[in-house]
Amino acid sequence: MSLLVIGTLAYDTVETAFDKRDNALGGSAMYFSLASAFYTKPALVGVVGQDFREEDLAMMRSKGVDCTGVEQVDGKTFRWGGRYEPDWNTRHTTFTELNVLEHFDPKVPEQSRNAKFVFLANAAPAVQARALDQVDAPTFVMADTMNLWLDIALDDLKGLIRRIDGLILNDEEARMLTGEDNLIRAAQQVLGMGPRYVIVKKGEHGAFLMGENVHFALPAYPVGTVVDPTGAGDCFAGGFMGAVAEADSIEPNVLRRAMVHGTITASFCVQGFSVEDIGSRTRAEIDERYNELLSIVTV
């Protein structure tokens, strides 16, 4: 049931219509780790600079994240700035400072090379591939991506997609990757590119999973007040993979329940900036909301 995640750690400057945070803890693999840590003890591989706050590492460790693979190198931690329109659906990147991420060469620690479950969080596809090269014989590898890589590294990304078991992407990325407006047809096309499973995330409209012997769709948990959507997709993936690793199975029923868990961890994430909400939750709160969502979606 070992879970390994490779991706970014960052300091984010995020502005919404209502509030703002500077240099708040962020990054695809960081969000993923915290969400998956409700279910298992994930091993995190990533890179940070000399300015990375010891308290942030301590917080992750306290949640059960194995940070052995977090390499601290000379330079500054990756920084990203974003601004959301009031409708939450439009996000503007205000700045990107790659810093130590520019030369990120992931090194999977010896004790994590036999991981059964692997998540390649959003990063350059070539970096994701180099990380995957270092894992022996994983049972289930999923990868995330973003529109940037569809634009500038499409061939690398397509190569990676052929090597993984599942791809997770949002509606806009699914349309970009396939040129298909209809999301069902887009998902079918993704499956034709190699992976056995695809998850399409639709933000406030929920998510669906298509693949071998499974087709599952779920509305989002009804969050009354969204504070900051940053990291929601990573927390979805973390809840999903965490629940899969906990169950130590990719049976269709496990994947369905994992979709619900991903929806729940994402719903907590958007209720606060950075990890202000998700970082303060307990497994009991996760399970309570899981049951609440089940009651909402059960016919």
The binding site for its own copies (CB under 8 A) comprises 86-87, 181-185, 202, 204-206, 208, 215-219, 222-226, 256-257, 260, 294-299
Q: For its own copies, which is the closer residue by CB, 17 or 148?
A: 17
Q: What is the smallest separation between the CB atom of 184 and its own copies, expressed in angstroms?
A: 4
Q: For its own copies, which is the closer residue by CB, 54 or 87?
A: 87
Q: What is the smallest separation between the CB atom of 297 and its own copies, expressed in angstroms?
A: 6
Q: What is the smallest separation between the CB atom of 224 and its own copies, expressed in angstroms?
A: 5
- Kindly list the distances between the CA atom of residue 56 and the CA atoms of 52, 110, 130, 269, in Å, as whole numbers in the listed order: 8, 24, 26, 17
Q: What is the smallest separation between the CB atom of 262 and its own copies, expressed in angstroms?
A: 12
Q: For its own copies, which is the closer residue by CB, 204 or 276?
A: 204
Q: For its own copies, which is the closer residue by CB, 78 or 268?
A: 268
Q: What is the smallest separation between the CB atom of 3 and its own copies, expressed in angstroms?
A: 22
Q: For its own copies, which is the closer residue by CB, 200 or 237?
A: 200
Q: What is the smallest separation between the CB atom of 198 and its own copies, expressed in angstroms?
A: 13
Q: For its own copies, which is the closer residue by CB, 98 or 217?
A: 217
